[in-house]
Structure formats: structure tokens, C-alpha cells
Structure 1
Amino acid sequence: MPVVTALRATRRRGVALHVDDEYVCVISESLVARWRLFKGRELTDDDLAAVRAAASAERVMGDAYRLLGHRARSREELRRRLLAKDHDEAAVSEALERLTADGLLDDAAFARGYAADKRRLAGWGEERIRRGLRQLGVAPHDIDDALRGAGEDDELDRALAVLRKRGAPEPPLEAARRRAFQALERRGYSTSVAFAAVRIWSEDPSARPN
């Protein structure tokens, strides 16, 4: 039967578990207490497997909390980041379910916040926002909900704001219009919105900066 042969404190407030004189994994002090681990404690194979699984779950949750502490993320983006850290896929799936149940992962809320930030801070159009959310693995219905209610007039206003920051068009006018149109397309504005914004910007003095 496996026997705990050492419990050594680590620099990161963890405890290195050694069984039968072999390193097993790093666990938290709370896990040590929960399993009543001490030098000489005998463990069944099932006990040892359960301790390993609990330690894996702790590491996954710790990394998940750190990643979410930096900024909001979609469920799929967080899954990819955790798997990239070589966490066990089953442990990652369990962590995602727990975070979702706790309200810390919510793709619908994430999509709304992402869309609002990209409109306001980056001046993105709806198509680029849609592409960005798709790349982050957000479900189509959550994307549609996040973009619902943003009419073409609102998008035209944002496109004009982007162009106003460029200043008045410089001659030759056609070249300036073409560059402005391409800039709006890169930001994800529809052809109709980009065309209308460029026309107003280039022809209406009130659309230009004073």
C-alpha cells in the first residue's frame, strides 16, 4: 500500500507530496488537511488517485482565476488557454462547469461587453465584432443577441467618428475617399455604411472637424 514519505513546503505556499520516496505532485495546505495527510500515512491506490485529481483541479482553478482576473474571457477562449498550460482535459471541463455555475463564465454577458468595448474604444463595425466573437468560440445566438439593437444609423455615426479623427480629406479627393473606405472596411463596417460615411465625410462640411 502506498505510504506518504514526505510533505515539503514549496515557495508558492504549496506542499510537495512524496509517496514511497517518489515525488507525486504539489497540493495545497487545505488539501493536506482535508485528506489528513502526514508522513507515514498509508493510502490506497484509489486514495492516491483521488488526491492527484483534487490537486489537478486546484491547479486548473488557480490558473482559471488568474486568467479571468486579467480580463473577461469566453468559455472557449478560457478552455484553450487552460489546455495550452498542459492541464488535463477532464479537469478543465470540470473547472469550466464550476465557473459557469458560479456565474464567472457567461458567454452572453461576455459578448455584450466585448461588442460594447470594441464599438466604443476601437471603433469597430458590426462585421469585425462578429468575426472576433466567432474566433473566441462564442455561440451564434449569443453573438446575434449582443449585436441586436445596434441599427445602421448607430453604425453610421461610429463610422463618421472614425473618419473625423482622420481629419479633412486631402486632395486628390478620390484617393482620400478610397483610403477612407478601405479603412472602414478593415474595421468591419458594411459596404453600405462605409460608402455612406465616406460620402458624408468628404462632401458635408459639418462632418469635418473645425
Structure 2
Amino acid sequence: MSSDLIREDRHVAQARDVCLRLLAARARSRAELERKLADKGYDEAVRTEVLDRLVAVGLLNDQQFAHDWVRQQHSRSGKVGAALAHGLRAHGVAEEDAQAAMEQLDPEQREGRARELVQRKLGRSSDSVDPSDQRLVGRLVGMLARRGYDSGLALRVVRSELAVLSAG
């Protein structure tokens, strides 16, 4: 075997080990691993070989990564819509995989999570809440908007939660 083949095999093994260490820490997209390997100086042929092999054995799957990431971000921070799309783009997930992953959140889930976020925010100061306070409404709608909720849903949820709070 020539020394070039041995050197290439060693580079492939090292690149594979880098990827496996990164994947052991947390799930990653193919683009993230591609960037990490490029930053470490691995050439394109080595990167492609390693990443294709990880896909083939099921350790790397952008569709599953996107699905899990959307579910986790929605559950943990209440993100939806544009906020999720932005995050998936930052991870290098293809548009069709991102869209499919975001479609797993149905409208009832989104509205329910928006209500939870508003209730949690209001729970800290519910005794001093004035439902007609437009600054409060604006802050709550803004909080939901930053998480990707559309303004119509955000306003409807905020008004509804403030009405419940003032009636109770």
C-alpha cells in the first residue's frame, strides 16, 4: 500500500473520530460537522467520505436532527415559526427538512405553549396586573413575537389570558 493511501486512511479515521466525539456530546447536522472538519483542515474528499459513511450507518440524519431540534426548542423555550426556521438555517438544515420538522407542531400545540408562556410571565406579578395596560400587552406580545409567534395569535392569547386573570 502506498504511503498516500495510508496517510489518507489515517486522515479519514481521525476525521471520523472528531465527528463521533462531537456527536457523542449532542446531535448535529451534516453541515455543522462539515464546518467543524473544514475548520480542522480536512480536505473535501475526506469530509465527504466520513460524512457519507455516518449517514449510511444512521449516525447522521438531518431530517431526524431537525425533527428533534424543533420539538426540543418548542418544549424548552416555546419557539415556533420564524424563530425555529432561523435556528435550523443556522444549523445548516436544508429548507425542505426544516419545513417538514416545523409542520409537526399543530396550531393547538402552538397556542397552548403561547398560553403557558404568557401565564408564566404573568404568574410572577398577577396581583398587580391591569388588563387594560397597553404597555403590558405590548411587552407580552413582543415576548411571543421574539419566539416566532404571529402577531394575531400572540395578541389573541395575551388578551384572553389577561381577561381570565382580571375575571379571577
Normalised to the residue count of structure 1, the TM-score between the two structures is 0.72
Q: Which amino acid aligns with 1:173?
A: D
Normalised to the residue count of structure 2, the TM-score between the two structures is 0.89
Q: 2:147 aligns with which of 178, 184, 187?
A: 187
Task: Find the residue that maps to 1:104 and give its secondary structure.
Answer: coil
Q: Which structure's residues are more often helix, by fraction?
A: 2
Query: For 1:21-47, what per-residue CA distance to the aligned partner results, in whole angstroms no more than 9, with x for missing partners?
Result: xxxxxxxxxxxxxx7xxxxxxxxxxx0
- Counterpart CA distance in 2 for 1:190 and 1:160 is 14
Higher-Rg structure is: 1
Structure 1 residue 149: deviation in Å?
A: 4.0
Structure 2, unaligned runs of 5 or more: none
Would you identify which runs of 4 or more consecutive aligned residues in structure 1 move more than 4 Å? Answer: none
- Counterpart CA distance in 2 for 1:147 and 1:80 is 24
- Counterpart CA distance in 1 for 2:40 and 2:34 is 10
The percent of aligned pairs where both chains have the same amino acid is 30
| 8 Å Cα contact 1:152/1:193 also seen in 2 | no
Q: Counterparts in 2 of 1:1-210, with a 5 A limit?
A: 47-167=2-122, 168=126, 170-171=129-130, 173-205=133-165
Q: Which amino acid aligns with 2:8?
A: A
Structure 1 residue 94: deviation in Å?
A: 0.9
Structure 1, unaligned runs of 5 or more: 1-34, 36-46
- Counterpart CA distance in 2 for 1:123 and 1:147 is 13
Query: For 1:170-208, what per-residue CA distance to the aligned partner results, in whole angstroms no more than 9, with x for missing partners?
Result: 3471111111111111111112221111111222229x9
| 8 Å Cα contact 1:124/1:188 also seen in 2 | yes
Give the number of equivalent residue pairs. Answer: 163
**Distance change >3 Å, CA 139–CA 166, structure 1 → 2:** same
Work out which structure has the larger RCO, using CA pairs closer than 8 Å and 6 or more positions apart in sequence: 2
